[in-house]
Each structure stands twice: as structure tokens, then as C-alpha cells.
Amino acid sequence: MKPVLLHICCGPCATYPHKALREEGFEVVGYYFNPNIHPYSEYQRRLATLWQYAGQSGLNLLPPGEYDLAAYLKLAVEDPSRPGRCRACYRFRLDRAAAEAAARGYPAFSTTLLVSPHQDHAAVREAGEWAAARHGVGFLSRDWRPGWRESRALARQFGLYRQNYCGCVFSEKERYLGE
């Protein structure tokens, strides 16, 4: 099996990409790096849910990346508009995932962000390709959005906590204010 590091934003979003990559013959190792998630209790809840999924599905996980909220916020406030902050967030998280893949000798990485119809797929792909080139690893770009419904069904099957916002303080505000 070919090894691949999978950047994971949350347990429910991991379900379908994990399954799809295994079906492609990859040995998947998950990596949770999401300092954008706010508040910290939400970050911890999503991480606990990911550990729950990993235990039930056999997904191997690396230790999570640092919760570097200050670095994320610095990037996000440079352009707090939705496309600006999201692009900065994708680059920040995927750069760290690519660095982790390179440091551990994985030839390639991907991200569960590619399963969500709520994410800017082109911007995620662009950030992944940029990070891959920067760290000398490959980026597996997959359009897993057709598996979105299946990922929701799998999350229910595994009894996973499913959040209703991307995780950042800005999206939490938008959720409550209906923006």
C-alpha cells in the first residue's frame, strides 16, 4: 500500500476520504491541524470525535498539530472577508500538513476539506498544490464532494458529533447572525 498523510478537519469529514483513499490502495495516516477552530472547547470536541472515529475505523492518527490560534488569527485579520480569510486558512493548514508529510517521509498528502460542498474547492486545491511544491511532496487532489451525503451517513453510523459551522470564530459569528 502507498502511504499518504490525510489532513483532517474533523471526524465526519474524514469518513468518506478515508474510505475512498483506502479503496485506491493507500495506507492513510491522519493528521489534525486546525488552529482556526474556536472556541478551544470546540477544537477539543472535534479532536475527541476524530479519535473516536479512528478507534472505530482503524485510521492511524499522528499526534495533533499545535493549537496556534494566534498565528491563525494574525493571518485571518489581514483580510477578514470570507474568501480572503478562508484562502489564508487553507494555506496555513495545508502548508503545515505538507511539512508534516515531508518530515515523516510521506510522498504525498491530501485533505478532507475536499469533501465539503461548503469549502472553496478551487482554493483548497490551489493551497494544497502550493504547499506540496514548497515541501517537495505530492498533493492528491480529489473531488470528494459527490461522497458528501455518504460521509454524513457514515458519521451517523459511527455516532460522530457533527458541527454546524466550519470552526473559525468568523463562521461562528455568521452562523448566529445569519450572514
At 179 the pLDDT is 67
Cα-flanking dihedrals φ and ψ of residue 31, to 5°?
A: -140, 120
Per-residue pLDDT of the chain (179 residues; tens, 9 = 90+): 899 999 999 999 999 999 999 999 999 999 999 999 999 999 999 999 999 999 999 999 999 999 999 999 999 888 877 888 999 999 999 999 999 999 999 999 999 999 999 999 999 999 999 999 999 999 999 999 999 999 999 999 999 999 877 788 787 777 777 76
At 175 the pLDDT is 73
Q: Which residues lie closer than 8 Å to 156 by C-beta, 6 or more apart?
A: none
Question: Cα 3–8–14 angle (5° rounding)?
Answer: 85
At 44 the pLDDT is 96
Q: List 138's β-bridge partners, or say none.
A: 108
At 94 the pLDDT is 98
Q: Name the DSSP class of 124.
A: H
SS3 at position 166: coil
CATH class in words for 2-177: alpha beta
Cα-flanking dihedrals φ and ψ of residue 138, to 5°?
A: -90, 155
98 within 8 A of 65, measured Cβ to Cβ = no
Q: Report which of 78, 71, 91, 89 is spatially closest to residue 135, judged by C-alpha positions.
A: 91
At 1 the pLDDT is 84
Residue spans per domain, the chain: 2-177
Residues 131 and 103: their CA atoms lie apart, in Å, by 13
Residues 8 and 17: their CA atoms lie apart, in Å, by 9
At 96, list the grid cell.
Answer: 503545515
